[in-house]
Amino acid sequence: MRVAIVGATGAVGHELMQVLEKSKLQIDELQLYASPRSAGKTLPFKGKDLTVQATPEGPIDADVILASAGGSISKALAHRWAEGGGVVIDNSSAFRYDEGVPLVVPEVNGEAALKHQGIIANPNCTTAIAVVAVAPIHRKYGVKRMIVSTYQATSGAGQKGMDELLEQTRVQLGGGVAGHKEFAYPIPFNVIPQVDVFLDNAYTKEEMKVVWETHKILGDDSLKVSCTSVRIPTLRTHSEAITLELERPATPDEIRELLSHTPGVEVRDNPAEKLYPMPLTASGKYDVEVGRIRQSLVFDGGIDLFVSGDQLLKGAALNAVQIAEYLQEKGAIKENQRA
């Protein structure tokens, strides 16, 4: 079982290696790739130092290629990497909306991964975190409308985003004027209601990703989805306030009971004890925290809830590894190799 990571020296690449250390994925060989300037670096994995190689422009001789090198690189090279007989699990947005490329959250639509043709897409982090909680509710009660407001950490913009938060916070606390490069405005002590570029409909691309990807993952284009995405001055873990209008009314107790038995979800919901989802408690955690579950005051029988999920894990690295684990459990990786 040979696994490759493309983009091994980036923020998601680092998390991929950490997740693989603990994964039930059986690995005989791990190959690390990154940009030419990172070639020659060594990274530790299971007690050994592995050397990073320059990302190849041709086939990669591996069974699973976990790609997190950016959309333009994946778009140009992923099909070539897959020519080596492996499956590319791509973390960028390059293939998410392509016909014939599965967009997969294993707890929700794992079976879609089995229909791949060499490439499987990892969802946008915000979508992945939301659908883990929403999918079981949709299956049991039917969701007609879904309104999402996000609170997205600076790590959503990569290591440079986190660095900018820390550096410019120091500048401002030192009496200076905070600057900005990665974000539209200074991020310290601020919230910015823009993540990604604005589209013609006045929504940002990040907001529309939640719409498009929720439809594809749940297999239901009739579901009405609206999203407002906001960048906040935290390092990691995205949070989301979600309001659901349901086809069949549900009580908060029924939703708590349902979610308490949902893989990938930790119900953290006891207002009397001030117990609710937060980046402080969800960071570094595999499960998505769900709480503040209450009856909607707008939709009869509807539900309001709040979720926090580590977007570097469930929103990226963890989900990719879980897809590989699912394929291995189903025997799909070796079948692909023989083919």
**Which of the residues are catalytic?**
125, 238
288-295/303-309 β-pairing: antiparallel
- CA dist., res. 156 & res. 165, Å (int): 12
Beta bridge partners of 224: 145
SS (H, E, C) the chain: CEEEEECCCCHHHHHHHHHHHHCCCCCCEEEEEECHHHCCCEEEECCEEEEEEECCCCCCCCCEEEECCCHHHHHHHHHHHHCCCCEEEECCCCCCCCCCCCECCHHHHHHHHHHCCCEEECCCHHHHHHHHHHHHHHHHHCEEEEEEEEEECHHHHCHHHHHHHHHHHHHHHCCCCCCCCCCCCCCCCCCECCCCCECCCCCEHHHHHHHHHHHHHHCCCCCEEEEEEEECCCCCCEEEEEEEEECCCCCHHHHHHHHHCCCCEEECCEHHHCECCCHHHHCCCCCEEEEEEEECCCCCCCEEEEEEECCCHHHHHHHHHHHHHHHHHCCHHHHHHHC
Q: What is the CA radius of gyration of the chain?
A: 20
- Strand 119-121 and strand 87-90: the pairing is parallel
Bridge-based pairing of strands 238-246 and 303-309 is: antiparallel
